Amino acid sequence: MPELPEVETIKRDLEKLVLGLKITQVIIHDVRVIQNQIKGKFEDELKGLTIVKITRRAKAMVIQFNHHRYLVVHLKMTGQMIYGEDLKQTQKLKETKVVFKLSNGKYLNYNDQRLFGRLILTDDLQKVAYLNKLGPEPLEKEFASSWLIATVKELSKRRKTAIKVQLLDQTFIAGIGNIYASEILFDAKVDPQKRLHRLNQDELTRIHRSTVKVLNAAVKQRGTSMRNYRDSAGEKGNFMKTIKVYGRENEGCFNCKSLIQRISQAQRSTFYCAACQR
DNA sequence: CCTAATCCCTGTAAGC
DNA sequence: TGCTTACAGGGATTAG
pLDDT of residue A137: 97
Distance A195 CA to C6 C1' (A): 30
Please answer whether residues A22 and A50 qualify as being in contact, where contact means their C-beta atoms are separated by less than 8 angstroms: yes
What rounded mean pLDDT belongs to chain A? 95
Determine the nucleotide nearest to A30 by Cα–C1' distance: B9
Confidence of residue A145 (pLDDT cuts 50, 70, 90): very high
Does the pLDDT of residue A234 top 90, yes or no?
A: yes
Residue A227 has pLDDT above 90, yes or no: no
**What pLDDT is attached to residue A278?**
92
Covered bases, chain C (protein CB within 7 Å): 8-13
pLDDT at A257: 94
Question: Which positions in strand B are less than 7 Å from the protein's CB atoms?
Answer: 2-11
Calculate the angstrom distance between C1' of C13 and CA of A110: 25
A4-18 helix and A201-220 helix, angle to the nearest 10 degrees: 40
Integer CA distances (angstroms), A18 to A14, A23, A56, in order: 6, 10, 15
* Strand C neighbors by CB, 7 A: A 1, 3, 58-60, 74, 76-77, 114, 116, 129-130, 168, 170, 177-179, 267-269
A96 CA to C5 C1' in angstroms comes to 28
Task: Please name the residue whose C-alpha is nearest to the C1' of nucleotide B12.
Answer: A227
Amino acid identity of A27? I
Measuring CA to CA, which residue among A195, A192, A193, A237 is closest to residue A218? A237
> Coil, strand or helix: which one is A103?
coil
What are the beta bridge partners of residue A264?
A269
Q: What's the CA A248/C1' B16 distance, rounded, in angstroms?
A: 27
pLDDT tens per residue across span A152-183: 999 999 889 999 999 999 999 999 999 999 99
pTM: 0.96
Neighbours of A177 (CB within 10 A): 22
Q: pLDDT by residue (tens digit) across A107-119?
A: 999 999 999 999 9
Specify the pLDDT at position A1. Answer: 84
